[in-house]
Chains A and B, each alone.
Chain A
Amino acid sequence: MSVVAALRGVQVTYPSPTGPVEALRGVDLELLGGTATAIVGRSGSGKSTLVSVLALMRRPTAGEVELAGRTTTGLDDHELARLRARSVGIVFQSFHLDPALSASDNVMLPWYLDAAGRRRRDARRRADQLLELLGIPELSRRRPTQMSGGQRQRVAIARALFNDPVLFVADEPTGNLDEDTANEVAAVLLGLADRTGTTVVVVTHDRRIADAADRTLHVSRGRITEPVA
């Protein structure tokens, strides 16, 4: 399996009223294609910062990020956004679905923001396929307000998969869900690597998700300190 994403000596430092805060301190990481990785750690340990750098939403203060064989150092905002659109799928703890749009249109949101790309009919077909893949084909026309939390998160996952990303990142995706729904969503997420071949990275506090992942990383004080057994 080839390396899909890599961090080399990545540091992230934030300014704060009490002085600079080092959120990541020289992180080295390689993620292989088609694997599922769980990232665990306490609040404030740097997990979310780590995935935001992996998802190209934050530039590191120092170090290098490589995604889909491309070094991102030196890319401007426009190029970075384009690479993110084509290569990364992101899911958040809050579902961030547009209440004005149907499930299908929410899944198609990346299409609305991409002047090139597929034709509308193909985009609609792709959205419906993804909703089917996630087990909610009957919700295609429904608005987010007419769905349960688990269903909304599935729609958000489908949206993240719309552009066939090589890297799928989820930041505490089950944090807003009840236990049963969280289990369902976790199963869907971890199964994505096998079903779609994409590389999955999940930030979680949920021990069961960590256990089910191919690989679990523990982040503490801005460093990947130990593999969790």
Chain B
Amino acid sequence: MRRLVRLSARSAAQAPLRFVLLAVLIGVALFVYLVVEELSRLSTDTLDEAVAGDLGEEGTYAVLLNDRLGLVTDELGRLVKPALAGVEPRRVEIIEVLPAVIAECPPFEQFGEQQLLFVHDAGGHSTPLPYGAGVPADTALCLAGQALPADAVLVPDRGQQRRWGPGLAVSPDYRAVALQTSHEPITYRISVVSGRPDPDGTVREELQRTLESAFQDHARRQGVELTHVINVVRLDSGEDTRRAQEGVGLVYGVIGWGVIALGGLALLVTQLIVVRDRTWFFGLARALGGQRRHVAALVVLDVVLVLVAGLVVLGAAILLGGPIVGGFVRDAFAVELALLDPGTLARLVPTAVVLLIVAAGYPTWKAVRLDPLEVLERS
């Protein structure tokens, strides 16, 4: 193989301008592909976040319980966890909601009246949360006349608010203190995230049916009418927005792969011309005892050399053009491009393979089918 590589390199050196132009073309195509991929990733992440904030995670449901059921956290955990196992939810949270109080020490400037929330997993155990997040530095918290450290309270972000409802999440260490703030009854809310699209509401209906069945014995004992036990409400109604988001991703994909396809097409056309121009050489190689695989290797190596040179051009483009494009994107969209992101760079390998197949496949097939004698007689 080393001998053939040497031979190919010498052939490439015969037409340096063609080789350099092709390498630049491929390098620029790969650079544009990387930029588009990175923009696509950034926009998808940003959109994901925005959509999740506005609409909730895909497949998010609130399970509203009848207050007269009289269930407490442990009992709920025992009923809910096995009942939802068949739905395979991504996340289940049982939220214990204490009546609204003013949780802030005077002068009460930040939060006003807030419900206090205790968040549990599907089994009824406290969920570890990043307590302290979102609490303004100049705010002190007081419950039942007791000052709380800042890291005992979490101000929920938009997604959490959507799942848990309004309120401040309080560390379970301070549950006893929180219970002293009011004598109003505690209510419960269950949040279920399936992570799956539910365009026709099938998952919602299944949740409703499954939970009704799980709660029916308890409801009967409490004298609650079965149809009023629970109500599963969908929180993420936003199929159109999600579809639009997918559409944006698709457009980026089409642009990225379109650029690669154009680069591959240019390389393909050039290779077809090269094969035509070097037909005599392939015939000669066969006449001198070369096998079909030698001819195939010569065509493929020609493309591989261009690709390798194209990658060198890409490296130069990232070093020289990356800061310029990055600056433009930063000014225009306030996001940071990471062209050397390992994930994006890893995608270059299959992209280069696709380019190789596109550009070398047909010319190689044409070259190996040549009848050496016919070729030499013709030339």
Q: Which residues of chain A have a CB within 8 Å of any CB of chain B? A: 48, 52, 55, 57-58, 77-78, 81-82, 84-86, 90, 92, 94, 96, 98-101, 105, 109-115, 159, 163
Contact = CB atoms under 8 A, between A and B. Distances in A.
B289 A84 contact: yes
Contacts of A98: 10-11, 14, 281
Given A96-B376, A98-B281, A105-B10, A57 B291 contact: no
Contact of B11 (A52, A96, A100): A100
Contacts of A92: 376
Nearest to A90: B287
A111 to B, nearest CB: 7
Given A58-B373, A92-B376, A94-B379, A85 B11 contact: no
Given A57-B372, A90-B287, A113-B4, 20 more contacts: A57-B287, A77-B291, A78-B291, A81-B291, A82-B289, A84-B289, A85-B289, A86-B289, A92-B376, A96-B376, A96-B379, A98-B10, A100-B10, A101-B10, A109-B288, A112-B3, A112-B4, A112-B6, A112-B7, A113-B288
A113 B372 contact: no
Interface residues of B, number: 26
B285 interface: yes
Contacts of B286: 81
Contacts of A84: 287-289
B289 A100 contact: no
29 contacts: A48-B377, A55-B287, A57-B287, A57-B373, A58-B373, A77-B292, A78-B291, A81-B290, A81-B291, A82-B289, A84-B287, A84-B289, A86-B289, A92-B376, A94-B280, A94-B376, A96-B379, A98-B11, A100-B11, A100-B13, A100-B14, A109-B288, A110-B288, A112-B3, A112-B4, A112-B7, A113-B290, A115-B1, A115-B3
Interface of B: 1, 3-4, 6-7, 10-11, 13-14, 280-281, 284-292, 294, 372-373, 376-377, 379
A57, A92, A113, A163, most chain B CB atoms within 10 A: A113
Contacts of A113: 3-4, 285, 288-290, 294
Nearest to B13: A100
Contacts of A82: 289
A121 B251 CA distance: 56
Given A112-B7, A113-B294, A52 B373 contact: yes
Nearest to A117: B3
B379 A114 contact: no
A152 B79 CA distance: 93
Nearest to A159: B288
Nearest to A143: B14
A68 B287 CA distance: 18
A3 to B, nearest CB: 22
A85 B281 contact: no
Contacts of A109: 284-285, 288
Nearest to A83: B289
Nearest first, the 6 A-B pairs at minimum CB distance are: A85-B289, A100-B14, A113-B290, A112-B7, A112-B3, A57-B373
